[in-house]
Amino acid sequence: MEATPALQCRMRKHLSTTTGPQRLLYGTAIGGAVALVPWPVDGMARGLAGWCAGVLVYQVLTWWLIETFDARRTRERAQSLDQPNLMILVSMLVVVAVSVVAIAMLLQQVKELTGWERAGHVLLGVVALAGSWLMMHTIYAFHYAHRYYIDQKGGRHDGGLDFPGKDDAPDYFDFLYYSYVIGMTSQVSDVQATSREMRRITLVHSVLAFAFNMLVLALSINVVAGAI
């Protein structure tokens, strides 16, 4: 039975305005389903395939929301919604754990494989690592948006971040930019943290980003050295 246009419209509206917990829930459901499919690979590889599928769902829903929200809607939404600190911490731990598993799989199994099977495992591990990196900094982008507009609502004019081009209020793309720059460089660029609270959040994020990048680099060197 086909969905009615009204139902399709409601579904489209819901999927384009999901909250953080909803995106995580949908990603977990899809990822779990993919992992349970009896692929002709071992359990670790199936788990990573499920992780990649779940992260893809999370990222697609995230970018759909970001694309449809202007600065006004970003402010209204950020002031009313945020991902709890405990959920952020748990998400970061899961991201790091999956990254370690992905690299461990490469370290243990790549040597024993050849041809397309070896290439497939390497590709799966790389995609899992890339998905983990994207998810970590996407979650922080939403946290920055919430903190910024909550501070503005509380009377702080600049919201704790000083964006260039002050005539334009920041939308989700601006916070994503700030978060991804920290993820790539572990430092800020042209956007400056101007409040103590925002500096603390940025500090924790920078340390996590640096540790994650160093972990991936160090273990990747072992993978390459072992594969030669």
The average pLDDT across 75-99 equals: 74
Q: What is the pLDDT of residues 117-147, one digit of tens each?
A: 777 777 887 888 888 889 889 989 988 998 8
Percent of the chain with pLDDT strictly greater than 70: 85
Q: What is the pLDDT of residue 41?
A: 73
Percent of the chain with pLDDT strictly greater than 90: 19
3-state secondary structure string across the chain: CCCCHHHHHHHHHHHCCCCHHHHHHHHHHHHHHHHHCCCCCCHHHHHHHHHHHHHHHHHHHHHHHHHHCCHHHHHHHHHHCCCCHHHHHHHHHHHHHHHHHHHHHHHHHHHHCCHHHHHHHHHHHHHHHHHHHHHHHHHHHHHHHHHHHHHHHCCCCCCCEECCCCCCCCCHHHHHHHHHHHHHHCCCCCCEECCHHHHHHHHHHHHHHHHHHHHHHHHHHHHHHHHC
Q: What is the pLDDT of residues 130-189, one digit of tens each?
A: 888 898 899 899 889 988 988 887 766 677 898 887 667 899 999 999 999 999 988 888
The average pLDDT across 1-5 equals: 61
